[in-house]
């Protein structure tokens, strides 16, 4: 396993960015904090007011090579709702490669084959191949909803692996 980001009581969250639908006039609000266990907690409220409906967090990377590791491994505990994991091959790409997953409300390991991550831009699937790049320059999580709702996703680690 090749760690991309491991949350801990002494890790810094300074480089993580929160991006909410406020950039489009929406009213959603999210935040990323460390809890007493050292886990990252992405939480907040999604509001559909003013055509909103999403909150996200993202982290730019220095180009994490994917050649020998074709699986993203997430250790997390959600609130029972669905989230999206997002990556970019180049941080300035307009599109992301995304994977939707539903949480169980318990700690779990989510395994995402990179080849199953499909290209998306502003919620629309693009007609280009799924992820087949040699590195990742951005990772993130998105919470989207078509109704007003609170959310919480507790994250231990994000890693690359070569085994399902």
Instruction: List the chain domain ranges.
Output: 2-161
Q: What's the CA gap between 38 and 55, in Å, rounded?
A: 22
pLDDT greater than 70 at residue 164: no
Burial zone of 104 (CB within 10 Å; 0-12 exposed, 13-18 middle, 19+ buried): exposed
CATH topology of domain 2-161: Jelly Rolls (2.60.120)
- In this prediction, residue 101 has a pLDDT band, given cuts at 50, 70 and 90, of very high
Q: What's the CA gap between 84 and 67, in Å, rounded?
A: 23
- Which residues, at least 6 apart from 60, have a Cβ–Cβ distance to it below 8 Å? 15, 91, 137, 138
CA distances from 141 to 32, 68, 156 (A): 11, 23, 13
Tokens of 100: 């939707």
Tokens of 51: 């055509």
Question: Average pLDDT for residues 38-50, to the nearest whole number?
Answer: 97
Q: What's the CA gap between 136 and 64, in Å, rounded?
A: 5
Tokens of 37: 């266990």
Question: Average pLDDT for residues 37-41, to the nearest whole number?
Answer: 98
pLDDT tens track for 135-145 = 999 999 999 99
Per-residue pLDDT at 23: 81
Tokens of 97: 């490669």
CA distances from 163 to 1, 109, 119 (A): 9, 12, 23
Residue 11 CA neighbour count, 13 Å, CB half:
21
- Which residues, at least 6 apart from 154, have a Cβ–Cβ distance to it below 8 Å? 35, 39, 40, 41, 76, 77, 78
Q: What's the CA gap between 140 and 53, in Å, rounded?
A: 17
Tokens 């109704």 label which residue? 147
């Amino acid at each position: 396993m090749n760690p991309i980001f491991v949350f801990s009581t002494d890790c810094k969250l300074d480089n993580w960015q929160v991006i909410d639908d406020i950039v489009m006039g929406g009213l959603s609000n999210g935040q990323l904090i460390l809890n007493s266990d050292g886990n990252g907690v992405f939480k907040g409220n999604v509001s559909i007011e003013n055509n909103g409906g999403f909150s996200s967090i993202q982290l730019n990377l220095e180009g994490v090579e994917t050649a020998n590791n074709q699986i993203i491994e997430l250790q997390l505990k959600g609130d029972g709702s669905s989230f999206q994991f997002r990556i970019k091959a180049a941080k300035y790409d307009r599109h992301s490669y995304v994977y939707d997953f539903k949480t169980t409300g318990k700690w779990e390991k989510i395994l995402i084959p990179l080849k199953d991550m499909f290209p998306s831009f502003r919620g629309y699937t693009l007609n280009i191949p799924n992820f087949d790049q040699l590195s990742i320059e951005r990772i993130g999580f998105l919470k989207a909803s078509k109704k007003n709702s609170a959310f919480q996703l507790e994250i231990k680690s994000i890693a690359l692996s070569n085994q399902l």
